[in-house]
Amino acid sequence: MADQLDDIAQELYGLPPAQFISARTAAAEANRTEPGFGARLRALRRPAPAAWVVNLLARERCGELDEVLDLGIALRAAQTSLDREAITRLGKERRAAVTGLAHTGGELAEAAGHPVTAAVLDAVAGTLDAGLADAEAAEAIRTGRLVRALETIGFEPVDLAEAVALPGRGSRAAEKRAVVERPKPHLVDDGDAELARARTRADAVAKRADDDAAEIARQLGDLDLRLREARKTLSAAEREAAAIERQRDVVADTHEKARLTLDTALARRRELG
């Protein structure tokens, strides 16, 4: 019976979200004679748009998905060993791979007749990033039964509670979510809502960043303001604007390096307990 439930769930989570409810109802009706089986089917939640796109990748581009997620193994090892050169190289590969695979997911969705928004694709990329950061999140992605998008914040474990349909016992995905979301007063795009929550949480983490990184970030913001003001001036100020833009690039590079140093130091501290 468990295998039959898994098989039906695999079929359901391969469907576009708009078809999920009717297909789930039909499956529950077809199996209503089995005690409790129909109820378990009806308990399966419709995937958010971003989760559906990732599920598409798990089904139709599993090889490419594995290649991207396997980058996470190497990246985590480099962070543990504080290998700056490897971290920088793998970080660039990660960004390119995640962006490319998210774009592929968008193409698959469009080919299936259900194109998605840029915000949904951002949530897809965030989910892939979560799989790179957390081995258990990677396995959740590989199931092809994601219910919601995933996100990674700092070095905290990825929140997998109730993120996967029919999760394995003892996994973090089998846990209940600690925070109950308030009902939405009106219908919104799930991907937009997920992205908004991700940005809010990321802002909170950024405020707790290292003092040096925060100071550099403030400098970057000041230079952005000066750059906008310089671009509004007459042609005589164009040379100054160009100089400020070059200075901004230097500060931005320094900021990225400072954050990378902070991240790797935190990884080592967590390893040492």
Determine the pLDDT at residue 170: 53
* pLDDT tens for each residue of 107-146: 999 999 999 999 999 999 999 999 999 999 999 999 999 9
pLDDT digits (tens, 9 = 90+) for 180-208: 454 554 444 444 444 555 565 555 555 55
Question: What DSSP line would sit under 74-136, residue for residue?
Answer: HHHHHHHTT-HHHHHHHHHHHHHHHHHHHHHHHHHHHHTT----HHHHHHHHHHHHHHHH-HH
